[in-house]
């Protein structure tokens, strides 16, 4: 991403956000739980054939699995085609539109917003930009 900071877009930003979320989870690694070692629990759940609906699984699922948002699609090709075959770009564009349409204005005081905008414009000029991108102006 550092090589491409000059060609950023809102669509790339929402895609990068989901990728970074999955990477953050990966970097946490595997952590022992309060019920470690879980091998006896795992064997019982396999024997009873209810691994995915077990209380143990449900208790740890959201902590252990990184669930990407609507931009990253983990479906296989057949399901992806069944669901319309939207490209990553199309899904990212749809998410940007959703976020922009659901935007709630900041509750910051106007003088604080004005000062932040002034600072961003100063930095933009320092790096050769005449103005801020359209949605930030």
Cα 127 to Cα 8, 10, 119, 121, distances in angstroms: 15, 20, 13, 10
Q: Please identify which residue in the block is written with the tokens 């930003």.
A: 13
Q: pLDDT-based confidence at 65, cuts 50/70/90?
A: confident
Question: Are residues 15 and 81 part of one domain?
Answer: yes
pLDDT score of 29 more than 60: yes
Q: What domain range is 121 assigned to?
A: 108-132
The answer on 30 and 10 residing in a single domain is: yes
Query: What value does the mean pLDDT take over residues 54-77?
Result: 83
pLDDT of residue 134: 66
| pLDDT reported for residue 6 | 67
Q: What is the mean pLDDT of residues 103-110?
A: 90
Based on the fold, state whether residues 37 and 96 are members of the same structural domain. yes
Domain presence at residue 94: yes
User: pLDDT (tens digit, 9 = 90+) per residue, 41-54?
Assistant: 778 777 877 767 77
**Assigned domain for 56 exists:** yes
Res 28: pLDDT: 85
Above 90 in pLDDT, residue 63? no
Shared domain for 48 and 89, answered yes or no, is yes
CB-CB contact of 135 with 10 (8 Å): yes
The residue with greater pLDDT, 135 or 43, is 43
């Amino acid at each position: 991403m550092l090589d491409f900071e000059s060609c950023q877009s809102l669509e790339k930003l929402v895609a990068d956000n989901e990728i970074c979320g999955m990477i953050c989870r990966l970097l946490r690694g595997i952590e022992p739980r309060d019920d470690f070692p879980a091998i006896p629990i795992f064997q019982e759940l396999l024997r009873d054939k209810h691994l995915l609906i077990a209380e143990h699984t449900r208790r740890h699922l959201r902590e252990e699995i990184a669930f990407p948002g609507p931009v990253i699609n983990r479906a296989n090709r057949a399901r992806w085609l069944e669901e319309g075959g939207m490209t990553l770009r199309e899904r990212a564009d749809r998410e940007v539109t959703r976020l922009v349409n659901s935007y709630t204005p900041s509750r910051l005081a106007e003088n604080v917003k004005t000062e932040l905008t002034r600072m961003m414009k100063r930095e933009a000029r320092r790096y050769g930009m005449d103005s801020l991108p359209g949605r930030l102006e």
